[in-house]
């Protein structure tokens, strides 16, 4: 199967966004910057696209203009190993951005992310319907996901 590269449309801040993302994620780098030439449509020398890699996953940022903006119809999911990782990515990506609900946030460029701990799906999908319902109810009350709090809610020991 060919490799799939998400292409993220920005107005003019694609390079700044790519630089921000590679500063947040380990093993990440900008691999190429393509600039507009005399043919345009952007000003000659300005950034057209930025290719970058976030921990092995390639992305392209395009400075396509203000015609399109991000919305919640697409988000990038970060499966975090533990609560410390959740806290790290949540803090970095909400800086200048916005906390939403149930582990969702928008970064300062308007891109939606889901920051979730490994193990969350097990708690939410517990085979005991009462445990699952308590965990799901707790999740809906959260912005940043707290796996320990979800487990306590599932156990009926949250207060």
Closest CA to 30 of 71, 6, 59: 59
- Facing residues of 105 across strands? 99, 113
- Report residue 117 as tokens: 């701990």
Reported pTM = 0.92
Could you read off the pLDDT tens digit of each residue along the chain, which spans 159 residues?
899 999 999 999 999 999 999 999 999 999 999 999 998 888 999 999 999 999 999 999 999 999 999 999 999 999 999 999 999 999 999 999 999 999 999 999 999 999 999 999 999 999 999 999 999 999 999 999 999 999 999 999 875
- Report residue 87 as tokens: 């806290």
- How many separate helices (H) and strands (E) can be counted in the chain? 5, 8
Closest CA to 61 of 28, 87, 92: 28
Closest CA to 57 of 21, 89, 106: 21
């Amino acid at each position: 199967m060919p490799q799939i590269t998400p292409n993220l449309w920005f107005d003019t801040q694609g390079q700044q966004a790519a630089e921000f993302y590679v500063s947040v994620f380990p093993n990440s780098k900008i691999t190429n910057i393509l600039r507009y030439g005399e043919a345009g449509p952007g000003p000659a020398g300005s950034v057209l696209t930025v290719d970058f890699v976030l921990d092995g996953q390639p992305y392209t940022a395009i400075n396509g203009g203000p015609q399109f903006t991000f919305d919640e119809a697409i988000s990038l999911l970060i499966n975090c190993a533990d609560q410390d990782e959740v806290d790290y990515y949540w803090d970095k990506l909400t800086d200048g951005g916005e906390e939403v609900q149930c582990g969702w946030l928008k970064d300062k460029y308007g891109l939606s992310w889901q920051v979730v701990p490994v193990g969350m799906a097990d708690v939410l999908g517990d085979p005991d319907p009462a445990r699952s319902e308590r965990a799901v109810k707790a999740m809906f009350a959260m912005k940043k996901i707290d796996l320990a709090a979800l487990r306590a809610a599932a156990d009926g020991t949250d207060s």
